[in-house]
Structure 1
């Protein structure tokens, strides 16, 4: 079954009763053993299912063979059975992406809550975290705030961390738009995908250091894609022409890691270089200019060497 992050399924189909409503305590939690613990700090690196052309089982095997600690995948009840079997077989941790897509706040929020509960309230494996695409860039502040209030309370009830991604088209689509949410909601925790902010602001955010610093202080999960002033993804972070953008992103990530090391806490990271059309392509062929999986493995290796 072909399954892509951008295809919103979100478990909208009817679910079997055996899958849900089992106490959180019954979850199993694997340990890959590849992360290093130093004074409580650990770095866990996740592989993206987005862009993988193959089954969930094949993906999990490839992630394990490549050295990842776990995977991040859009929650879908359709693939839950195969997914949890593969996670157990290959001893991988999992983080889920959850979201709603409706254009009106009320149905959007209803879908968001439904999908989020499905991703957590099952009897298999406890997610390491939930990454959420929250609200819309055109929703009013009070409508978007409902997503924050719900996730803060739900994370406390379930013990599963929930992080709001800095993502275009969503509530936290840009640095200036995110500032009021960060200032007014001290319990808001982030998935920092700062490539989106670079794209929206058409800069490397040199003129917004205070907002970036505040976002970094709230970050618990990182999407380590490198963006630039004109797009959300450089063609290949190994290419010298992208050195300025790569250096800027690592300077931000250095600060995130330093905070987690000081706190003695776990940091999760997803290597999220994407396929076309995030990945630039050769005209008239739509062939990617670089290998997505190879780049993501490269980023995993660089992070481990730099931070462990």
Structure 2
């Protein structure tokens, strides 16, 4: 029987990290340029930089062009969506089957839905995906279930089988964590980290959800390396042949990205994506 707690590529390869890139993060690149890279150029650069795939949110009218562009560079596909109904889930799962996506992650509902209602929805969403052979993760993200550390911990209590796409920049900015030892942030997050099978690479300093971390050697970036390594370490404990831990660099364009008053970005998100990739590899080595 398939194990849908993690993505498995069906091979006999040892458990491994797979670093991907978000398509959303490629919007408005190159930085402050008069013309944006074409889809084909984006895919080419992602491949040349050593990323294995691209995460996409696709409408049906976008499927053909994006699938062709990814296939031309040998890039894998992951699908995200924001389901408010089970029909939304069915639509994205069908798309994943049609496009041969590796797995699906969801930003479900909105954060004011009572967990007593959200849990049956999430259980049925997982079943819909699993019945079609698709792995399904729930993203930790503001403005959906779960949007905060406390909400995620309660979700784990009610639904221990849940598996997460961990974007912990949201928890860090909501909790105003700075990575100080006496905060006990990682210890508080462990029930979630132990159920994390996919990570998004964005770093918060506790005040802004997305910051430039320069070369990644500073305290803020290394705090996130410790968070990611804790999740990866827990994942590795039960990992087997063919299991893959996906990590996606996900640095959003403005308004996620901070800008100057005239709207220009002052952080090169493409350069920072390469830093995210290196930090993911550092976390994997430490796990």
TM-score range, shorter chain: 0.7 to 0.9
Unaligned residue ranges in structure 1 (runs of 5+): 1-30, 32-36, 101-107
The equivalent residue for 2:31 is: none
| Conservation of the 8 A alpha-carbon contact between 1:222 and 1:270 | yes
Unaligned residue ranges in structure 2 (runs of 5+): 1-8, 28-35
Q: Matches of 1:47 and 1:153 in 2, distance apart?
A: 27
Q: Matches of 2:12 and 2:212 in 1, distance apart?
A: 34
How far does residue 111 in structure 1 lie from its aligned partner after superposition?
A: 5.0
Q: Matches of 2:140 and 2:283 in 1, distance apart?
A: 24
Q: Matches of 2:216 and 2:19 in 1, distance apart?
A: 23
Q: Which has the larger displacement, 162-171 or 141-150?
A: 141-150
Residue number among 246, 251, 263 corresponding to 1:286 in the alignment: 263
Q: Which has the larger displacement, 126-135 or 214-223?
A: 126-135
Residue number among 102, 105, 110 corresponding to 1:131 in the alignment: 105
| Conservation of the 8 A alpha-carbon contact between 2:177 and 2:185 | no
The equivalent residue for 2:207 is: 230
Residue number among 51, 59, 63 corresponding to 1:68 in the alignment: 51
Q: Matches of 1:239 and 1:93 in 2, distance apart?
A: 26
| Conservation of the 8 A alpha-carbon contact between 1:226 and 1:249 | yes
The equivalent residue for 2:16 is: 42
Distance 1:56 1:76, change over 3 A: farther
Q: Matches of 1:302 and 1:181 in 2, distance apart?
A: 29
Indicate the SS of the match to 2:119: helix
The equivalent residue for 2:96 is: 120
| Conservation of the 8 A alpha-carbon contact between 1:49 and 1:72 | yes
The equivalent residue for 1:245 is: 220
The equivalent residue for 1:143 is: 117
The equivalent residue for 1:88 is: 71
Structure with greater contact order relative to length (CA < 8 Å, sep ≥ 6):
2
Query: Is 1:303 aligned to residue 286 of structure 2?
Result: no
Distance 1:176 1:287, change over 3 A: same
The number of residues matched between the two structures is: 261
The two structures, once aligned, show a CA RMSD in angstroms of: 2.3
| Conservation of the 8 A alpha-carbon contact between 1:236 and 1:290 | no
The equivalent residue for 2:5 is: none
| Conservation of the 8 A alpha-carbon contact between 2:137 and 2:163 | yes
Q: Matches of 1:227 and 1:119 in 2, distance apart?
A: 32
- TM-score normalised by length of structure 1: 0.77
Query: Is 1:167 aligned to residue 150 of structure 2?
Result: no
How far does residue 68 in structure 1 lie from its aligned partner after superposition?
A: 0.7
Distance 1:255 1:209, change over 3 A: closer
